[in-house]
Amino acid sequence: MFNLFLLQLLNGAQFGILLFLVAAGLTLVFGIMDFINIAHGVLYMVGGYVMAMMMGTTGNFWLSLALVLPVTLAVGLVLELLVFRRLYDRSHLDQVLATFGLVLVLSELVKIFWGSAPLSVAMPEMLSGSVPLAGPMRYPVYRIAVIGVGLSVAIGLWFVIARTRVGMLLRAGAANRSMVSALGTDINRLFMLVFAAGAMLAGFAGAIVSPILSVDPGMGDSILILTFVVIVIGGVGSVKGAFYAALLVGIVDTLGRMFGPILLRLVMEPAAAAQAGRTIAPMLVYILMAAVLFWRPAGLFGRKVSQ
């Protein structure tokens, strides 16, 4: 039982890291540019589809993964030039309207190009298979790799933000946008860079998870809300917050689903416990978010919001 608990903890953490990969780009765009981007999930989907297409032509996992980066970066740049750039100074609601429209357009385009059937991305040979953990329980090699990649991205982002000039500008820009402009930095170029990097991170996440999850037109939709939950719990704009919140969400979701009914059985009839368990399981993440916001209205690592 204890082994199983540890394994589930690991599973939860791994799911969290997967969420972090998607959330990192969103929290950057959101926090630094104060821009609500509903289309972030679609960029994640585009990453998955580009990966599937590249795999179809090249047949090589690593080459395809390497090609996803410039392609999604380019998609991000084009969208920034055509749409987002004009919306930075507008209200959140205008941003929601425009990016919601983009979701419809991009999803339909994906459907026209690739059809609506789920697509497959094969796992690279060297990362397939599983390693024994305890007893009959094993752990997939690929997921260990995902954990490794997620941690590297987290460390990389921390380094860029905390230790480089760009990072300094980002932090300053998030705190006070007009101040950075006044200091002579081209804030528009900075924003373009952040946005394109965010799009690339989302696309990269879509490509990384494609061997585990199916590539289908709904994949962006289903991850988007969870991603927003993560960045809000963490505090908007905080990459550190997104990291811890993603782990928290992953672990609470997995452990709650697995052990919630067992705990409930201590205080209820088995049948009622099972019923209550499956009613509550999907709500857990939202209960967690509501609770966090109740105690800390700006998330775990968010700046205090002015009334």
Partner 1 sequence: MSDLRPRLAPRLKLALVIFALLAVVPPIAQAIGEPFLIVVATRMMVFAIAALSLDLILGYGAMVSFGHAAYLGFGAYAVAILSRAGINDLLLQILAAMAAAALFAVVTGAISLRTRGVYFIMITLAFGQMAFFFFVSFSALGGDDGVALRARSTVLGIPLLQTTQGLFYVTLALLVAVFAGLYRLTLSRFGRVLTGTRESALRMQAIGFRPFPYQLTAYVIAACLCAIAGVMLANQAVYVSPAYMSWHRSGEMIVMLVLGGIGSLTGAMAGALITVGLEEGLARWSEHWRLGFGLILVLVALFSPGGLTGLLRRLNLIRGGK
Partner 2 sequence: MRYLAVSTALGLAMTSAAFAEDPVKIGVLLTLSGPPAVLGEHARDGILLAEKALEGKIGGRDVELVIVDDEGKPDIAAQKARELVEGQGADFVVGPIFSNIMTAIAGPVTSAGGILVSPNAGPSNFAGKDCNPDIFVVSYQNDQMPQVLAQHMNQQGIANVYLIAPNYQAGQDSLNGFKALYSGTVAGELYVPLGQLDFSGELAQIAASQPEAVYAFMPGGMGVNLVKQWNQAGLSSIPLMSAFTVDETTLPAEQDAALGMLTGSNWAPDLDTPGNAEFVTAFKEAYGRVPSLYAMGGYDAMMLIDSAVTAAGTEDREALRTALKAADFPSLRGELSFSSNNFPIQDFYLTKAIKDDEGFYRTSVVEKVFTQAADSHVGECPMN
The answer to the question of residue 257 lying near partner 2 (CB under 8 A) is: yes
The values of phi and psi at residue 273, to 5°, are -65, -40
Q: How far is CA 33 from CA 64, 179, 288, in A?
A: 30, 14, 27
Q: State the first-to-last Cα distance of the chain, in angstroms, to the nearest integer.
A: 48
Distance CA 253, CA 152 (A): 23
Task: Return the ∠ at Cα 225 (arms to 168 and 256), rounded to 5°.
Answer: 105
Of 108 and 186, which has the nearer Cβ to partner 1? 108
Pair 197, 25: CB distance under 8 Å? yes
Burial 53-66 (b: 16+ CB within 10 A, else e): bbbeeeeebeebbe
**196 versus 252: smaller Cβ distance to partner 2:** 252
CB of 175 to partner 1, least distance (A): 16
- 306: tokens are 């002015």
Backbone angles phi, psi at 140, to 5 degrees: -70, 135
According to the binding rule CB under 8 A, does residue 64 interact with partner 2? no
Strands 137-140 and 130-134: antiparallel
- Is residue 287 within the footprint of partner 1 (CB under 8 A)? yes
Q: Is 290 in the site for partner 1 (CB under 8 A)?
A: yes
Task: Identify which of residues 100 and 159 has a Cβ nearer to partner 1 in the complex.
Answer: 100
Q: Which stretch binds partner 2 (CB under 8 A): 78-86, 235-243, 254-262, 264-272?
A: 254-262
Rounded least distance, CB 139 to partner 2, Å:
8
Of 135-143, 149-157, 195-203, 226-234: span binding partner 1 (CB under 8 A): 226-234
C-alpha 163/C-alpha 159 separation (Å) is 5
Spatial separation of the C-alpha atoms in residues 174 and 31, rounded to whole Å: 6
- Is residue 48 close enough to count as binding partner 2 by CB under 8 A? no
- Please, what sign has the CA dihedral across residues 210, 213, 219, 221? negative
Positions in 66-105 near partner 1 (CB under 8 A): 83, 86-87, 90, 92-98, 100-105
In the chain, count H helices and then E strands. Answer: 12, 2
CB of 66 to partner 1, least distance (A): 31
Per partner kind, with CB cut-offs from 5 to 8 A, the member of partner 1, partner 2, none near residue 98 is partner 1
x/- map, 35-54, partner 1, by CB under 8 A: -x-x----------------
Q: Give the count of residues interacting with partner 1 (CB under 8 A).
A: 48
The dihedral region occupied by 303, where left means phi > 0, alpha psi between -120 and 50, and beta the remainder, is beta
Q: Identify which range of 34-42, 80-88, 133-141, 171-179 contacts partner 2 by CB under 8 A.
A: 133-141
Closest CA to 121 of 67, 66, 65, 198: 65
Chain residues that interact with partner 2, rule: CB under 8 A: 3-4, 7-8, 11-12, 14-15, 18, 111, 115-120, 122-123, 128-130, 132, 135-140, 142-143, 211-219, 221-223, 254-255, 257-258, 274, 278, 281-282
Chain residues that interact with partner 1, rule: CB under 8 A: 30, 36, 38, 83, 86-87, 90, 92-98, 100-109, 111-112, 225, 228-229, 232, 236, 275, 278-279, 282-283, 286-287, 289-290, 293-294, 297-299, 302, 305, 307
